[in-house]
Amino acid sequence: MTKENYTAEVLQYIAIFYIIWSDDLLSASEINVVENAIAEDSTLTQSDKKQLHKWLDVKNPPKNQVFKSWKQLITNSGVKLVENETYPLAAFSQKVASHYHNGLALNNHIKKIEVNLGIQPNHYNHLFDVHIDVDKNSAQYSAIEIDRILKGNHAEVVDNFRHVLKDPIFSWEIRRNKEEFRNHVLKQVEFLADKGYGAMAYSETYGGKNDMEGYATIFENMMFVDGSLAIKFGVQFGLFGGSIQKLGTKKHHDKYLVDTGSANLLGCFAMTETGHGSNVRGIKTTATYNHITETLVIHTPGKNDNKEYIGNALHSKMASVFAQLIVNGKNEGVHAILVPLRNEDHELLPGIEVEDNGYKLGLNGVDNGKIWFNQVSVPKENLLNKYGTILGDGDYYSEIKNPNKRFFTMLGTLVGGRICVARAGLGGAKYALTVAIKHALKRRQFNDSVKIQEDLLMDYPSYQLRLTPLVASAYVYHITLDKMMKVYCDESQPDKRQVETQVAGLKSIITWYANDTIQECREACGGKGYLLENRIADLKGDVDIFTTFEGDNNVLLQLAAKGVLSDFKAEFNSAGFSTVLKLLSSQISDKLSNINPLYINKTDKDHLYNPKFHVHALEHRTRRLTYTIAMRIRGYIKKGIPSYQAFLKVQTHLMTLGKAYSVELAYKSFIEHNSTIIDPHHKALFEKLGTLYALSEIRKDASWYLEQGYIGSSKSKAIRQRVERLCTEMRPQLDSLVDGFGIPDHCLTAPIAN
C-alpha cells in the first residue's frame, strides 16, 4: 500500500483517522464531527468521500493492515510534529500529504475537526514514530555543569550519597499512621548510620570523617527523600551527638560517641520546655548537686516546666538534658547533663515520664514528646563538662568566669544545626521548584482563540515572575550557606561571634524564603500541587516549623541586628544590652556618603545589572538602618527610658535591619563565589542569577529606597521592569536550572514532574 492508493486530498485525512482509531476516540460525537467535515469538504471527490466514509464504520473498522499502512505513510514522510503550531495536527497532515503530492494547501475542514474534537498534541504525539519538535528548553547550559558548580568540593560525598538514596528503603509513600511512619524513619536513620553517615562530622577516632561541611550537604539532600528523615537524623547525630561532641570531654566521647554515631545509642536533645522555648536561659529544670552521693538530681519543678517537643523522645535511651545547675545552693546557670531515660527493654526508668506530642502539621515521622523528671539521680560524671565542671571537692569550676559568656559559648554549639536547618529548608524549596517548573513546562491552559494548542503555563509572564526570582534565590542561598559552614568549621578562626550572628539572620531569611517558595509552588501547580503524591504538600507541612525551631526567626533576626549594631563584639544571643549600648555610644557616626542626583535616576541596563550598584544599594540600606536605630536608642536612653524598654520600642526596626543585613551578606557571598567560576559561559549565567536576586530584593524594599531618596521614581520603575524582563529572558534556562539542583530521578517521584 503506497501513496498511489490515495489522492492527495484523502492523504490529508490519514493522520486524523489514524488518531481517532488508535486512541479509542471514536465515539458517536467524533463520528458526527468527522462526517460533517467530510460532507462539507468540496476538495474531495465523490469517490474520496466514499473511501473516507468507509473508514468511519464502527461495525467494520479498517483492517489492521490498512491501519499499519497509514502509519507507514506517516513515518516515511519524515515530517516533524511541531507542537507550537497554531493547528499542529492540520499542519502536520498538510505536510505529510505534501511529501507525496506537492503544493497542497492547509485544509480548513481538517482544522475544523481538530478544533471540534479538541485533539491536542499530548493526546496523540506518542502515536507517531516521528521526531516531535518541542522547544521547552534551551540546550545552552548544562545541568551537569551547574550541579558541579553547586557541589563544589563536596562532589564525591554528594554523588555517593545520592546513589545511596536509591535503596528501596528511601522510596516515598504516603504514611498516615505516626507509629508506622516513625518506625520506618528510624530504620532509614539506622541504615544511614550503618553506611557511616551518622558519624560523619565526628573525628576519625570515633568512626567519623571530621567532615561537618559534607554533613551539611547530605543533610540537604535528605530533604529529597523526606523531611522527617532529615530532622530525625539531625536530632540523633547533630543535636544529641553534637552535644556530647561539643559540650562533653574525652570521657564522654570515649564512652558514647561511637555508639551514638552508629545509632546503637539513640538519644535526644532536651532543651526546650513548655514554658520556655526561645528564652533558654529561663528554663526551670534543675540539676542539683549532692556531694555526699556525688550525684546530680534532675527535677522538673512546675507543671509547665517539662521538656517539650523533644525529637526522638519516644525512641531514645538517653537524653542530653539542659538544666539549671545548682551547686552548694548556688545556681551556676544552664548546663547539659546526660540522663538515661530507658532500660534495655525500652521501659522508662524511675522518675521519668514521657508523653507523645501527638500529630503535627508535618514531620509526623519524628517522635516528638514531653519529658518530666521527678528527682532523677545521675552520677556527676554525666555532666557535659567542657565549659563548667564540678571539682572533686564538690565545688563548681569554669574557665569562663562570666556566666553570660559561658551560657552563650555553650549555645554557640547550636550554630551548625542552624546552618543545617536553613540548608534543609533550601532543599525543600529546590524540590518544590523542580516539581512546579517541570509541571509548568508540560501543562497547558488557555489559548489564543485562533489556536488549537493551548499555551504552556511557563510561557505566561505571571508564572515567570512568580517562579524565576525564587530559582535565583535558591542559587544565592546555596552558595551562601556553603560558605557559612566553611567559615564556621574553620579552626583557624576561634572567635565565632560574627558567624553566629550571621547564621542567625540567614537561618531566618532562608527558612522564610523556603516556606514562601513552597507555597508559591503549591499554588502554581493548582489542585495537582495539593495531592500528597506530588510531594509539595508534605514539604509545606515539614518545612513550616523550620521558621520556629532551632531559634524562632523573629528572635534570631533581633540577635542578628544586635550583632550588627555592636559590630559583632557583643555576646551572641545576649539578652542584656549593655555591651551593645557601650559600643553604640562610641561608634555612632553616619558613614553614608551623599547620593549623586544623576545616580538616583540612572536607569540604563549596564548600571542596573552592575554588581557594584547592587552592593552599594544593599550596603547603604544596612548602614542607614544601623545608624537610625542607634540614634533612636540613644534618644530614648537620654530621656531616661531603661535600655530594655528602648530596645522594645525599636523591635520592628531591629528586625528590618536583621533582614537587610542578611540579604546583603548573601548577595556578597554569591558574587564572591562567582569570581571563582572558570567557564565564562556558566559564569555569565550565575551572574544573571545574582542580578535577578539583587534587583528583586531591592524591588521588595523599593518603598524604603524611595523614602530615603536613594532611588528616584524612574529608577524604581526601571528596576521593576528589569526584574520582569530578566524573568522572561531566563525562561529557556529554567529547565536546566532546576535540573542543576541535582535532585536524583529516584527521588523525584511526583507524577506531575515526570
The residues in 530-589 that bind a second copy, with binding defined as CB under 8 A, are 530-533, 537, 540-541, 544-545, 547-549, 552-554, 575-576
Residues 424-453 close enough to bind a second copy by CB under 8 A: 445-449
Tell me if 275 contacts a second copy by CB under 8 A. yes
Tell me if 359 contacts a second copy by CB under 8 A. yes
As to burial, measured by CB atoms within 10 angstroms (0-12 exposed, 13-18 middle, 19+ buried), residue 675 is: exposed
# chain residues binding a second copy, by CB under 8 A: 106
Residues 11-50 close enough to bind a second copy by CB under 8 A: 23, 25, 27-30, 32-33, 35-36
Binding mask 289-328 for a second copy (x = CB under 8 A): -x------x-x-xxxx---xx--------------x-x-x
Q: How far does CA 281 lie from the centroid of its chain?
A: 31
Q: SS3 of 45, please?
A: coil
Tell me if 57 contacts a second copy by CB under 8 A. no
Cα-based distances in Å from 240 to 267, 312, 422, 528: 6, 10, 19, 38
Q: Which residues pair with 356 in a beta bridge?
A: 369
Q: Which of 61, 78, 461, 751 binds a second copy (CB under 8 A)?
A: 461
In the bound state with a second copy, the residue whose beta carbon lies nearer, of 72 and 728, is: 728
Q: How far apart are CB 615 and a second copy at their closest, in Å?
A: 21
Q: SS3 of 658, please?
A: helix
Tell me if 688 contacts a second copy by CB under 8 A. no
- DSSP letters spanning 208-261: ----HHHHHHHHHHHTTT-HHHHHHHIIIIIIIHHHHHHHS-HHHIIIIIHHHH
Q: How far apart are CB 304 and a second copy at their closest, in Å?
A: 7
Given 114, 273, 500, 550, which residue is catalytic? 550
Tell me if 708 contacts a second copy by CB under 8 A. yes
Q: Which residues pair with 301 in a beta bridge?
A: none
How far apart, in Å, do the first and last CA atoms of the chain sit? 38
In the bound state with a second copy, the residue whose beta carbon lies nearer, of 45 and 374, is: 374
In the bound state with a second copy, the residue whose beta carbon lies nearer, of 108 and 262, is: 108
Residues 114-153 close enough to bind a second copy by CB under 8 A: 116-120, 122-123
- Look up residue 395 and give its three cell numbers: 565545688
As to burial, measured by CB atoms within 10 angstroms (0-12 exposed, 13-18 middle, 19+ buried), residue 641 is: middle
Q: How far apart are CB 328 and a second copy at their closest, in Å?
A: 8
Tell me if 179 contacts a second copy by CB under 8 A. no
The answer to whether 213 is a known catalytic residue is no
In the bound state with a second copy, the residue whose beta carbon lies nearer, of 140 and 290, is: 290
CA angle 681, 685, 688 (to 5 degrees): 140
In the bound state with a second copy, the residue whose beta carbon lies nearer, of 29 and 138, is: 29
Q: How far apart are CB 751 and a second copy at their closest, in Å?
A: 11
Tell me if 402 contacts a second copy by CB under 8 A. no
Length of the chain, in residues: 754
Contacts of 41 (CB under 8 A, 6+ apart): 9, 49, 107, 109
Q: SS3 of 602, please?
A: coil
Residues 245-274 close enough to bind a second copy by CB under 8 A: 272
In the bound state with a second copy, the residue whose beta carbon lies nearer, of 541 and 744, is: 541
d(CA 451, CA 373): 71
CB–CB of 274/304 below 8 Å?
A: yes
- DSSP letters spanning 54-116: HTT-SSSPPPHHHHHHHHHHHHHHTPPEETTSSSHHHHHHHHHHHHHSSSPPPPHHHHHHHHH
Q: Binding segment for a second copy among 64-72, 97-105, 279-287, 467-475 (CB under 8 A)? A: 279-287
Q: Binding segment for a second copy among 75-83, 99-107, 174-182, 683-691 (CB under 8 A)? A: 174-182
- Catalogue the active-site residues: 550
